[in-house]
Amino acid sequence: MSLLENRTAVITGGAQGIGFAIAQSFVEQGAKVVIGDLDLDAATAAAEKLGGRDVARAVKANVVESADWDTLLAEAVDGFGSLDVVVNNAGITRDATMRTMTEEDFDLVISVHLKGTWHGTRKASAIMREAKRGAIVNISSLSGKVGMVGQANYSAAKAGIVGLTKAAAKEMAHHGVRVNAIQPGLIRSAMTEAMPQKAWDQKMSEIPMGRPGEVDEIASVALFLASDMSSYMTGTVLEVTGGRFM
Ligand SMILES: NC(=O)c1ccc[n+]([C@@H]2O[C@H](COP(=O)([O-])OP(=O)(O)OC[C@H]3O[C@@H](n4cnc5c(N)ncnc54)[C@H](O)[C@@H]3O)[C@@H](O)[C@H]2O)c1
């Protein structure tokens, strides 16, 4: 029996990177997936790669926009028949020290991560509570646990996601909806490949396991939290970091 048979999952930012790896692992376990991404061409290509319309669909969505969420979640409910899992994964960075960070870049990063995850968590909860079942997985970051230089915006947003996850978990537990978070460390993706070599080397030196993580190593934990394998877990924050800043 597959872990996500007869379940539908919405994954934001699923066109590439960690989100795509999560979508792939969910499909392998029998789920239907809806990928919501700013980049419709990339999301459509991703859905094709996952097997096409019968199992994976793409929706153009900006997680900051309430109306886009309605369209995205409707694709799961009306298109595939249910909404069982939501992964709030879409994200960006706009790194700068506090002296140089612009107010626009502070607002943008807070908005995409924190408001985006808030929309996703509350709108998914409203649907899932009716079915008395659901799992929400929020992608935070190790940056939200320890705070990182040049990431006042991102660290604040990712720490905020932890508070949001726990508050929502408490509100939704008696409705059968579980809400958990993952804090990835340094994972090889487009987001981290853009990093200067010096910053990469510094981060590598902090990892006890001595290597970066791969996107599949986040996907397997997301699968665990999305499935009944974690049926007695809610409000947790799982660090997937190779031991960094344990
Ligand atoms: N890569 C890492 O090392 C790492 C570490 C910790 C946390 N994370 C988090 O994991 C998540 C995925 O990161 P990744 O490395 O795969 O990044 P990525 O840049 O490879 O992919 C991000 C995806 O999100 C989409 N996106 C961006 N803004 C959006 C918006 N407003 N609405 C909808 N979609 C949007 C992009 O189009 C892209 O497809 C992010 O939340 C990121 O903060 C990543």
Q: Could you read off the pLDDT of 188-217 as tens digits, one per residue? A: 998 898 889 998 999 999 999 999 999 999
Residues marked as catalytic: 154
Q: How far is the CA of 15 from the centre of ligand 1 (A)?
A: 9
Helix, strand, coil tally for the chain in percent (to 5)? 50, 15, 35
Q: What domains lie within the chain, and their CATH numbers? A: 8-239 (3.40.50.720)
Tell me the average pLDDT across 94-111. 98
pLDDT confidence of residue 60: 98
Do 60 and 13 touch, CB atoms closer than 8 A? Answer: no
Residue 1 has pLDDT above 90, yes or no: no
Global model pTM greater than 0.95: yes
pLDDT at 150: 96
Q: Is the CB of 56 under 6 A from ligand 1?
A: no
Give φ, ψ of 162 to 5 degrees: -65, -45
What CA–CA distance (Å, rounded) separates 216 from 40? 23
* Helical pair 116-131 and 152-172, crossing angle rounded to 10 deg: 10
Compute the mean pLDDT over every residue in the chain, rounded to the nearest whole number.
98
% of the chain with per-residue pLDDT over 70: 100
Q: If you measure from the C-alpha of residue 114 to the centroid of ligand 1, how many angstroms do you get, rounded to a whole number?
A: 13
pLDDT (0 to 100) of residue 241: 98
Give the H or E element holding residue 205: helix 197-205
Q: Is 17 in the pocket of ligand 1 (CB under 6 A)?
A: yes
pLDDT tens-digit map of 137-191: 999 999 999 999 999 999 999 999 999 999 999 999 999 999 999 999 999 998 8
Is residue 184 within 6 Å of ligand 1 at its C-beta? yes
pLDDT at position 240 over 80:
yes
Take residue 244 and report the two structure tokens written for it: 């960094």
